Structure 1
Amino acid sequence: MSERKVVSVLLDELEQLAPMGYSVGLHIRFATPMVYKSSYPARWVEHYNLHSYYLRDPLVFWGIGVEGTTRWSSIPLPDPFGVLKKAAAHGLSYGAVSSYGPITSRSIVGVARADREFTDDELETLRELTIQLHVAAKPPSDLSKAQIEALKCVADGDRHSAAAEKLGITESAFKARLQSARTRLEARTTSEAIRKAREYRLL
């Protein structure tokens, strides 16, 4: 099963756990997640983004600072901008958050409901799904110098023959480098491989 399919299946499971939606930020690097998905109510998402609450959200601060799983109500951090109170006004009255992975590539998953606190068993399910999502979406740690050179040539607009001549290799060898880069990045096309390499800050 492809990485994308695995993540999709896990998100379906997460949706079953969270009646009022979820927010998933996977492999957060330099304050930006490699993968971001949210199924929270559209009005809340719009309000949250409009006011840049991600810079003020105690759930985000907790997730970056602590690796674990807890209910929103158990987080001891102050909420001077009333983010959680405003979330409750949009139906996200109860929630839980789970954080996993090294600080250099942290994944944070939040879930919400309107009727009650999440149970201990549900927290455990959230923890397991967070770990599985983190692992499933793990970016490659690196590309070879040859793979990076080949992708850069295409990204710069070089045709295969010109790129091969620039690198001093045959066109078939150049195509082989592109193929190996696509395989490493689990990309179907060279354009997708270039996009992923940029997202992973490998290019």
Structure 2
Amino acid sequence: MKTLGCLHAHYSNINYLEKALEEYPIALHHFVDPGLMIRIKNDPNLTHEEAKRKVLEQIDWIAASEVDAIVITCTNYIAILDDASKWSIPIIKIDEPFFKAFSQLPSPRTLIFTNHETVDGTTKRLNHYLHQNNKSNNYSIKLIPKAFGYLMDGNIDVHNEIVVKKLTELKSNHPDYLALAQLSMVEAGKSTNEGILNPLDPLIEEILTQLHISNLNESVT
């Protein structure tokens, strides 16, 4: 049995990992702290160094909990954390396997957000990945307004309704290949049955790789 520490900025992300990994020999320990995201949004005096120090403290705390790896599902945290080499265990960032999958989509491509606070950090990291791997950085960005506020208030059903409606509209009116930039949109994306790329599927593959789990019944140590 492997142990995975999961750092989230919102409790709604817990269920995604629990359901996706329930058949594997992995114990999930969840750590949820929306405070940093709230500070980034509301405190203009919060410096990058202060935010980074908070992220490092959180990861240090989780790493000391005897986990085999840590997964970070918040793109705000990832954008702040520029180096994960100080830890001896794998630090799995949700956007890195997603970037690889996104880079393989044909053009035209559209990257979809609901949280405008994550757009700059995510696209900066995505563009860096595409440049480093000699991939085209030709894609467009679409922000779905209002939905994320409902999510943060706990109104997940309303959030999903807004996202599903917009995704259905986009698929009907545009030929683009769509990709969801945030884990919080996965449920809505899957319910449209439109083959929209989401960050969960490539993340699960990366988790299994990093934990050396080859199938449902075998764990390789």
Q: TM-score, normalised by structure 1?
A: 0.27
Q: TM-score, normalised by structure 2?
A: 0.25
